[in-house]
Amino acid sequence: MVVIDPTGVRFTDFKGAPLAKKVEHLSWSPLMMEKRGFKHFMLKEIFEQPEVVRDTLQGRISLDTGGVALDEIGIPEATLRQVRKAVIIACGTSYHAGLVGKVFLESMARIPVDVEYASEFRYRDFILEKETLVIVVSQSGETADTLAALRASKDRCAAVLAVTNSRSSSIARDAHGVLYTHAGPEIGVAATKTFTAQMTALALIALHLAQVQDRMDAAARIAFIEEFQRIPHKMEKILGRAKAVEDLASRFLPFSHFLYLGRWVNFPVALEGALKLKEISYIHAEAYPGGEMKHGPIALIDEKMPTLAIVPEDRVYDKMLSNISEIKARNGTIIALASEDDAKIHERVDAVLAVPSADPLLMPFLTVMPLQLFAYYIAAKRGADVDQPRNLAKSVTVE
Ligand code: F6R
């Protein structure tokens, strides 16, 4: 029981006996809870993302040594050195961040990673080996399925590390270690800045494991950190072009179905872009890895179903171009999310959302932003309740 009155806050048990509670101060200010001139919290939170990436990186990386200081997580380095596999468990948008995290961990730390929906994992006869690091990702820290999966794995793996935005949450309390994202309060129900903060945290974990397990030398780590530190500025450039995304949203307002395609590290971004559109505008959107298109979804393509194709100049660029040709051959309309340096893409597609170039591994930080803005502007123009979409809750504390 808790009683809050002008004299203070008192906790008791159900018989009225006082309970002592530890006080924890949040660094969030009341100003952070205001819209500050933005029409919706979601738009404000999309615009806060460069700062969120800076804040989540701050104090944790060293450009001199290429080192990541993660003593705060509370899991001994000796344990992390012995990790041979990781399992990332999450729901919804956090699951999509986990899929990006898998690519980070496999590329940098060279350890195999499974990414699991918490609601599926907890009811399976799952197998965890002692050298497995379980990483649970949850912005709220209270998602019932993720918490249950954490509790079920706790004694069956090397350690459970939580990535969360919520201090003293159930997930933060129950995990062996916590890496906090510094996204500040997210009021819009649709997760945006917590997603980029989660990807930042997962990249830090990957870099840290790569360091303690000697999988990347200092020069490679320094080069990655340098590239990472340029990301917030590139995000700001994308935000400076928000009007172009808004104009595109007006053009595509009449459509009721969208297909999102991406490959490799941008496939999870396609999933996330489609989820954002579905949840706030109630428009049907599907996301597939480009390579899966010919195994079924291509049957959907006609002039009534536009495709958002994520096509940065990376190792799967040519493969994405083939997907684009296949769609064009079936009278499909294509919006490409492409590098601003890619002059050739314009003649192949109907519209381009240009993003700055970056290390291919870090492109999700950039490619996700026009997709968040696209979903936002479509929903706002349809008059939807962007910050409080129907049937959804910010913390899913029940199954
Ligand atoms: C989507 C969204 C949800 C959450 C999911 C998990 O915008 O917000 O899909 O990502 O409910 O929530 P957390 O991260 O709190 O565990």
User: What would the pLDDT profile of 31-40 be if each residue is shown by its tens digit?
Assistant: 888 898 999 9
User: What would the pLDDT profile of 112-134 be if each residue is shown by its tens digit?
Assistant: 999 999 999 999 999 999 999 99
191 lines ligand 1 (CB under 6 A): yes
**Beta-carbon neighbour count of residue 328 at 10 Å?**
16
Residue partners of 125: CB distance under 8 A and separation at least 6: none
Helices 242-251, 363-381: crossing angle, 10 deg rounding? 50
Q: Kind of pairing, strands 159-164 and 177-180?
A: parallel
Ligand 1: centre distance to CA 365 (Å) = 18
Ligand 1: centre distance to CA 386 (Å) = 15
Q: Which of 143, 189, 275, 392 to mutate to test the pocket of ligand 1 (most atoms within 8 A of CB)?
A: 143
140 lines ligand 1 (CB under 6 A): yes
User: Please, are residues 88 and 137 in contact by the beta-carbon 8 Å criterion?
Assistant: yes
70: its two tokens = 């993660």
Residue partners of 206: CB distance under 8 A and separation at least 6: 101, 104, 105, 107, 108, 109
Ligand 1: centre distance to CA 271 (Å) = 13
Instruction: Tell me, letter by letter, the H, E, C secondary structure of 36-84.
Output: CCCCCHHHHHHHCHHHHHHHHHCCCECCCCCCECCHHHCCCHHHHHCCC
Name the residue with the closest Cα to ligand 1, atom 7: 190
Ligand 1: centre distance to CA 142 (Å) = 10
279 lines ligand 1 (CB under 6 A): yes
- Confidence grade of residue 29 (pLDDT, cut at 50, 70, 90): confident
- 139 CA: nearest ligand 1 atom: 14
92 lines ligand 1 (CB under 6 A): yes
Ligand 1: centre distance to CA 209 (Å) = 26
Ligand 1: centre distance to CA 91 (Å) = 6
User: What would the pLDDT profile of 363-383 be if each residue is shown by its tens digit?
Assistant: 999 999 999 999 999 999 999
28 has a pLDDT exceeding 90: no
User: What would the pLDDT profile of 131-147 be if each residue is shown by its tens digit?
Assistant: 999 999 999 999 999 99
- 395 CA: nearest ligand 1 atom: 15
Which residue shows structure tokens 């706030």?
280
94 lines ligand 1 (CB under 6 A): yes
Name the residue with the closest Cα to ligand 1, atom 16: 138
User: Please, are residues 26 and 182 in contact by the beta-carbon 8 Å criterion?
Assistant: no
- 95 CA: nearest ligand 1 atom: 10
Ligand 1: centre distance to CA 390 (Å) = 15
What Cα–Cα distance (Å) separates residue 313 from each residue in 80, 146, 224, 225, 358? Answer: 34, 35, 18, 20, 9
Ligand 1: centre distance to CA 367 (Å) = 20
Phi, psi of 159 (to 5 degrees): -170, 155
Name the residue with the closest Cα to ligand 1, atom 3: 92
Determine the Cα–Cα distance for residues 158 and 369; give it in Å rounded to an integer.
Answer: 35
User: What would the pLDDT profile of 319-345 be if each residue is shown by its tens digit?
Assistant: 999 999 999 999 999 999 999 999 999
Residue partners of 299: CB distance under 8 A and separation at least 6: none
85 has a pLDDT exceeding 90: yes
The one-letter amino acid at 54: R
What Cα–Cα distance (Å) separates residue 111 from each residue in 34, 73, 108, 268, 386? Answer: 42, 20, 8, 19, 39
Average pLDDT over residues 212-239: 97
133 lines ligand 1 (CB under 6 A): no
- Comparing 395 with 305, the larger pLDDT belongs to 305
Ligand 1: centre distance to CA 340 (Å) = 31
User: Please, are residues 25 and 35 in contact by the beta-carbon 8 Å criterion?
Assistant: no
